[in-house]
């Protein structure tokens, strides 16, 4: 996979036992498995630990401002619809600061793939509570335990219109590669949530042990339920995590709808949008 990595940027900055290296490997493996030309591929990321991903991948890439990777990815896709566009970013970047972009890109069914790495906390900025921190989970800004109801990312994605929604942990490497492969090949807004250990903040603050201990927890507590109703897959603190492929459906993409409507209005005068 070295041909798809910027080896001059290696070694990476991620902490020991962080799951982000596994996510990056899974994305590269999925790109190769899907048979997608790297020269026709773009990766966009935001700010945070996961945001470094775009800088390590040897494809056209944008490391964007906090919370804006989906907006930038939308621009890339509309600029050249032939490019396969992926967003690789974290739960805080995508679901909190970038939440508005996420829900509207799903509503419009923009043809992009979102890999949302969920470590339940803002790690790079100091371990603050995130929109995914489970109830009672500790963070540097929730010293008495989180009391805010967290987002259920698969349910949010489905309810906003995503056509493909899956969740795996970094322990499920083969299944994760398969899910990302399917997402890359799926026309429309596809979302793969990846549960990943953060040993230095989430595990340490919550006294959950090392990153390896979190991987053992995933092993012992992941419950595979393909096709499960996304309303049932919310994550509670240190409780079983439901993983699987939840949604795989068809909807016209933003550009499909655009071309169809303008063709109806303009008739033969309309020229299909090609970027």
Q: Report pLDDT digits (tens) over 44-76.
A: 999 999 999 999 999 999 999 999 999 999 999
* Per-residue pLDDT, 154: 98
Indicate if the pLDDT at residue 2 is higher than 90. no
Residue 275 resides in a domain = no
Instruction: Identify whether the C-beta of residue 194 lies closer than 8 Å to the C-beta of residue 169.
Output: yes
Residue 274 resides in a domain = no
What is this structure's pTM? 0.97
Instruction: Identify whether the C-beta of residue 196 lies closer than 8 Å to the C-beta of residue 211.
Output: no
Q: How many domains does the chain have?
A: 1
Residue 138 resides in a domain = yes
Residue 194 resides in a domain = yes
CATH number assigned to the domain comprising residue 201: 3.40.50.970
Residue 143 resides in a domain = yes
Q: Report pLDDT digits (tens) over 138-171.
A: 999 999 999 999 999 999 999 999 999 999 999 9
Name the CA radius of gyration of the chain, rounded: 18
Residue 69 resides in a domain = yes
Two tokens, residue 113: 């793939």
Q: Which residues of 198-216 are buried (b: 16+ CB within 10 A; e: fewer)?
A: bbbbbbebbebeebeebbe
Domain ranges, residue 186: 2-269
Residue 249 resides in a domain = yes
Residue 26 resides in a domain = yes
């Amino acid at each position: 996979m070295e041909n798809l990595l910027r080896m001059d940027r290696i070694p990476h900055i991620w902490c020991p036992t962080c799951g982000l290296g596994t996510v990056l490997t899974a994305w590269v493996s999925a790109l190769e498995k899907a048979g997608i030309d790297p020269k026709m591929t773009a990766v966009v990321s935001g700010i945070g630990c996961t945001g470094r991903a775009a800088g390590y991948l040897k494809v056209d890439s944008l490391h964007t401002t906090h919370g804006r990777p989906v907006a930038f990815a939308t621009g890339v896709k509309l600029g050249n619809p032939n490019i396969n566009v992926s967003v690789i970013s974290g739960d805080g970047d995508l679901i909190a600061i970038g939440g508005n972009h996420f829900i509207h890109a799903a509503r419009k069914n923009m043809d992009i793939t979102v890999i949302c790495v969920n470590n339940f906390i803002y790690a790079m900025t100091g371990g603050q509570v995130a929109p995914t921190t489970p109830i009672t989970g500790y963070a540097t800004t929730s010293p008495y335990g989180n009391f805010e109801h967290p987002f259920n990312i698969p349910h949010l994605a489905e309810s906003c219109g995503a056509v493909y929604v899956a969740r795996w942990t970094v322990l499920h490497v083969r299944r994760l590669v398969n899910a990302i492969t399917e997402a890359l090949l799926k026309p429309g807004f596809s979302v793969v949530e990846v549960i990943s250990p953060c040993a230095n903040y989430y595990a340490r603050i919550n006294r959950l042990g090392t990153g390896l201990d979190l991987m053992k927890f995933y092993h012992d507590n992941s419950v595979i339920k393909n096709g499960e109703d996304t309303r049932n897959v919310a994550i509670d603190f240190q409780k079983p995590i439901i993983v699987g492929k939840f949604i795989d459906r068809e909807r016209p993409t933003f550009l499909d709808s655009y071309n169809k409507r303008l063709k109806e209005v303009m008739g033969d005068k309309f020229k299909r949008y090609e970027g």
